[in-house]
Chains A and B, each alone.
Chain A
Amino acid sequence: EDQVTQSPEALRLQEGESSSLNCSYTVSGLRGLFWYRQDPGKGPEFLFTLYSAGEEKEKERLKATLTKKESFLHITAPKPEDSATYLCAVQGDTGFQKLVFGTGTRLLVSP
């Protein structure tokens, strides 16, 4: 069964203090690993898709990387508006379309 574990559960940073979020996964044939951002009371907002080990994607202060067992979301010089829950999800090759999500990392960036 596909499984995703995210760490840490919560992370508090000062504005400008860079850090990384971890997503460890087990999946029967990775078709895609997805990062989402979720604000309170809102649905997840798509950030990145990674398809194969070694791939990297960047968007503003965020950079996602992928290995065969885990993915990292690096946050460089975060701002208070980066505060949110970051969700990682995998899609396996069982032929189905479902995403299997982790429980997320709650990020709080203080000014």
Chain B
Amino acid sequence: DTGVSQNPRHKITKRGQNVTFRCDPISEHNRLYWYRQTLGQGPEFLTYFQNEAQLEKSRLLSDRFSAERPKGSFSTLEIQRTEQGDSAMYLCASSFTGASNQPQHFGDGTRLSIL
């Protein structure tokens, strides 16, 4: 059973640059989520896809952030014109749509550091 895979694991970039992260969910899961976690805090919800449709976006997701999930498989999260405050761990999770709420299974994240 392959878990959620995220790449890269670490990203260091200069302020103002664009970055893109990739998430490959568990293969039979059709729901995919992005969260952001800063040191000492719990993960904060960013956005959610069911198949290829982006159904929910947090107000934390400014217009510098964009997420896609073409063909309902892997997803990408892009941050344009990065700022110091974007430094965080970006976590992806996936879940299966079932009769009751299914648990979300997380990858090990991409740690973003802005110089």
Q: Which residues of A contact B (CB under 8 A)?
A: 4, 31-32, 34, 36, 41-46, 49, 51, 87, 89, 91, 96-104
Contacts and interface: CB of A to CB of B under 8 A. Distances in A.
Contact of A101 (B44, B48, B107, B111): B44
6 contacts: A34-B103, A43-B6, A44-B91, A49-B101, A89-B42, A97-B95
A78 B57 CA distance: 39
A102 B42 contact: yes
A34 B104 CA distance: 9
Nearest to A87: B42
Contacts of B106: 36, 43-46
A46 B96 CA distance: 14
A42 B108 contact: yes
Nearest to B100: A51
B41 to A, nearest CB: 6
A60 to B, nearest CB: 17
A12 B45 CA distance: 29
A49 B103 contact: yes
B48 A44 contact: no
Contacts of B42: 4, 87, 89, 101-104
Nearest to A100: B45
Given A46-B104, A46-B105, A103-B41, A98 B91 contact: no
A101 B45 CA distance: 9
Given A31-B101, A51-B100, A103-B42, A96 B108 contact: no
Q: Which of A36, A41, A43, A89 gathers most chain B CB within 10 Å?
A: A43
Nearest to A48: B103
A41 B103 CA distance: 21
